[in-house]
Amino acid sequence: MKFNTKTIHGGQKHDPAYGAVMPPIYQTSTYAQTTPGGHKGFEYSRTHNPTRQALEHAFASIENGNYGLAFGSGLAAIDAVMKLLQPGDEVISTNDLYGGSYRLFTKIFEGFGIKFHFVGMENAANIEQYITKNTKLIWVETPTNPMMNIIDIKATAAIAKKHRVLLAVDNTFATPYLQQPLNLGADLVMHSATKYIGGHSDLVMGALIVKDKALADRLYFIQNASGAVCGPQDSFLALRGIKTLHVRMQRHCENGKAVAEYLADHPKIEKVYWPGFEDHPNHDIAKAQMSYFGGMISFVTKGNDYDEAIRIVEKLKIFTLAESLGGVESLSGHPASMTHASIPKEEREKTGVVDALIRLSVGIEDEEDLINDLEQAIG
Ligand code: P1T
């Protein structure tokens, strides 16, 4: 089955009770048993729920995995991955990443004795020098949030395999429409399904997808034991979102290109970060591992002017100033004070997250309206 068919049918069966084409929302916490253990495969909704299971099958299908797991948020999904580790274990992570992931790693899991190395992975060879006998996991975001760095998944997977280390890829920005990390050698894919997967800014959810049964079993154990699952209503919404992922992503990419090119030509803009530009440092890798370049863009005003950046985000009308990304509507954000405020200033400035940086999640509205909105705000 090709991707555009998988988004609609992948892993889905018609409802066995009445043939409903969409999976019913099984809004139940528990299931009747005829005798202890005598049930139809469902005993308690933290463990299994038919609507969530339909979604988990869809996740596995679109990422070319064998097993999918749904969580109550992206961070809950990452939390489950980190619970594969033991005190003394080490993780090598991209140095540019979502501020909440950084906060989870440094403020929760470092306290449990796990050591994190935050490394610039734009050259995958940089990773190897941080590998020790205790390294258990490489954590990659690509494109990174918010600097749009591109990490070579295939090259990183080769390093991970050589040292018998797990490779996890946060595929939130690209989605499987643009990039399929399991096909490139990653062991695990993670999503903040809150974003493009859901696609309509109406739910908070996380996903993990793997190929290996032993790894899936460990993660299912953690999912049930820790219990950070999503409910059936949100599972239904995410399933509905997935059905249009391919058409939405195509428009996000087209609009993203138009906006990136407009900003790059603007005299009041210093620098635009978008992997589709030929002079992006890893444009060739982006071209090789992604089918297009996505709808996420960051930019800095001329002269690194913080006041000007704030003025622009306040003045934008169609681009709503808000946390999050990946919905049909365009959003703007100020990473230094919003999504990445939990990263100390000197750390975030090392990766380019300066106070004058603006991040755009380009939606699927009319391209001309989006450009006009930027024009009136930037001036
Ligand atoms: O918000 P949540 O569903 O828990 O997902 C966390 C997360 C994980 N990974 C990436 C790459 C993310 O971008 C996020 C959440 N990001 C935002 C809310 C944001 O505006 O960047």
Q: Would you tell me how many other CB atoms lie within 10 Å of the CB of residue 145?
A: 28
Q: Please compute, for residue 308, the number of CA atoms within 13 A of its CA located in the half-sphere on the CB side.
A: 14
Domain boundaries along the sequence of the chain: 3-242, 246-378
Contact (Cβ atoms closer than 8 angstroms) between residue 92 and residue 131: yes
Q: Is 285 in contact with 261 (CB distance < 8 Å)?
A: no
Ligand 1 cavity residues, CB under 6 Å: 73-75, 98, 100-101, 141, 145, 170, 172, 192, 194, 204, 206, 323-325, 339
Q: What is the CATH number of domain 246-378?
A: 3.90.1150.10
pLDDT value for 12: 95
Spatial distance between the Cα atoms of 310 and 313, rounded to a whole number of angstroms: 5
Catalytic residue of the set 195, 248, 348, 359: 195
| Sheet with 67-71, side-by-side order of all strands | 67-71, 206-210, 188-192, 166-170, 135-141, 90-94, 115-119
- pLDDT for 16: 86
Q: With left for phi above 0 and alpha for psi between -120 and 50, is residue 208 left, alpha or beta?
A: beta
CA of 192 to the centre of ligand 1 (A): 6
Give me the pLDDT at residue 277, please: 98
Tell me if residue 248 is catalytic. no
Task: Quote the tokens at residue 358.
Answer: 């603006």
Ligand 1 binding pocket mutation candidate from 79, 81, 98, 319 (most atoms within 8 A of CB): 98
Crossing angle for the helix pair 50-62 and 232-242, nearest 10 degrees?
30
Distance 29 CA to ligand 1 centre (A): 28
Strand pairing partners for 337? none
DSSP H or E segment with residue 6: helix 3-9
Ligand 1, atom nearest to 172 Cα: 11
- Going by C-beta distance under 8 Å and a sequence separation of 6 or more, which residues neighbour residue 347? 118
pTM: 0.98
| Atom number in ligand 1 closest to CA 325 | 20
Q: From the candidates 26, 67, 98, 273, which is the catalytic residue?
A: 98
Region of 159 please: left (phi>0), alpha (psi -120 to 50) or beta.
alpha
Q: Does domain 3-242 have CATH number 3.30.70.1290?
A: no
Token pair in block for residue 260: 């990136």
Q: Closest ligand 1 atom to the C-alpha of 361?
A: 20
Tokens of 45: 């909704």
Active site residue 305: no
Is there a catalytic annotation at residue 359?
no
CA distance 234 to 239: 9
Query: Atom 12 of ligand 1 has which residue's CA nearest to it?
Result: 98
Q: Kindly report the protein residue whose alpha carbon is nearest to atom 1 of ligand 1.
A: 74
Q: How far is the CA of 19 from the centre of ligand 1 (A)?
A: 36
- Cα 150 from Cα 349, distance rounded (Å): 18
Measured in angstroms, how far is the CA atom of residue 6 from the centroid of ligand 1?
A: 25
79, 96, 170, 373: the catalytic one is 170
Asked if 202 is an active-site residue, the reply is no
Q: Which residue is associated with the tokens 């038919």?
A: 50
- pLDDT means per 10 residues, the chain with 379 residues, are 97 92 96 96 97 98 98 98 98 97 98 98 96 98 98 98 98 98 98 98 98 98 98 98 98 98 97 98 98 98 92 98 98 95 93 96 98 97
